[in-house]
Amino acid sequence: MFEIEGNQFHATQSILVEKGWEILHSAEKDATEESQSFDLSTLKTNSSAECIESSVDKKKTKPPKYFTESTLLSAMTRAASFIDDPSLRSKLEAKDKESSDRGSIGTEATRASILGKLASNTNLISIASEKGYKEKVWKTTKQGQEFCQALPKEITKPDISAMWAEKQAFIKSGDLTVEAFIQDVDSYIAERIDALVQHGINITANTVPCPACGKALISRAGKYGKFWSCTGYPECDKATLTNKVNLTLRQESNPWSVSINVQRATRD
Ligand SMILES: [Zn+2]
């Protein structure tokens, strides 16, 4: 770590310990390679020097890759890596010290069903093909993102799993009773619900507005099958939709994405 005029910079260096197979090419390489690179290991803490030259490389930051089912499954085996706080991270990692997992959530037997439950929540998650991916990618919908935003960080990150993993270790060692742990979890949930009651939750309803009054339409089952009805009924009865409005579901996986097509009856 360097500081130049108040700005902090990181520097990394790779050191070749053994040449390996590259030794075979050493003759031709040595001719071109000049050892003019600076050795960072010669620096000491708090040493200062003059900055002679600087240049800026123009590069584009890449967004993180989308998750697929297999990358999600593997991420669950090393969930601790998503925890920012190092001491908390080590608490989740400690759980797996006798396995090949590195701070996992779920178990080999439960992970697939956890993902199945997540996938069935089509209001929050969409799973679709994406250019450049062999597998289908998992994305949060707008509602899914709003839902995550309404949750505290310890839930959207694996932090809470780490906190509970530590408590489970305390139960194992006899330093905490199961009852005390359950009470702890109960009061945590009660706190979350209280916060929700106090602050509410802001999630965009992705519904179709009634063409007559603008209130949301909902699908109801009637004598002749399903039909779209206005939530303003009985004040708004115009919205009992029959042949005047044509609702087409764009895709089965996202029932909230609805296109509306109003056909006006023309009288000549
Ligand atoms: Zn209406």
Residue by residue, pLDDT tens for the chain (268 residues) are 888 888 888 888 887 788 788 777 766 655 555 455 677 778 888 888 888 888 888 999 888 899 999 999 999 999 999 999 999 999 999 999 888 999 999 998 999 999 999 999 888 999 999 999 999 999 999 999 999 988 899 999 999 999 999 999 999 999 999 999 999 999 999 999 998 899 888 888 767 788 888 888 877 777 777 777 888 888 887 555 444 444 443 333 344 433 333 334 434 3
For ligand 1, the distance from its centroid to the CA atom of residue 218, given in whole angstroms, is 10
Question: What span, in angstroms and rounded, lies between the C-alpha atoms of 148 and 73?
Answer: 20
- Which residues have beta carbons under 5 A from ligand 1 (an ion)? 210, 212-213, 215, 230, 232, 236, 239
For ligand 1, the distance from its centroid to the CA atom of residue 227, given in whole angstroms, is 14
Provide the 3-class DSSP secondary structure of residue 110. Answer: coil
Tokens found for residue 84? 């920012």
pLDDT recorded at residue 131: 94
For ligand 1, the distance from its centroid to the CA atom of residue 213, given in whole angstroms, is 4
For ligand 1, the distance from its centroid to the CA atom of residue 241, given in whole angstroms, is 10
The total of other beta-carbon atoms located within 10 Å of residue 254's CB is: 15
Whether the model clears a pTM of 0.75, i.e. scores above it, the answer is no
For ligand 1, the distance from its centroid to the CA atom of residue 38, given in whole angstroms, is 73
The total of other beta-carbon atoms located within 10 Å of residue 56's CB is: 5
pLDDT recorded at residue 28: 60
For ligand 1, the distance from its centroid to the CA atom of residue 239, given in whole angstroms, is 5
For ligand 1, the distance from its centroid to the CA atom of residue 235, given in whole angstroms, is 8
For ligand 1, the distance from its centroid to the CA atom of residue 224, given in whole angstroms, is 21
For ligand 1, the distance from its centroid to the CA atom of residue 265, given in whole angstroms, is 18
Q: Which runs of consecutive H residues, i.e. helices, occur in 23-68? A: 26-32
For ligand 1, the distance from its centroid to the CA atom of residue 244, given in whole angstroms, is 14
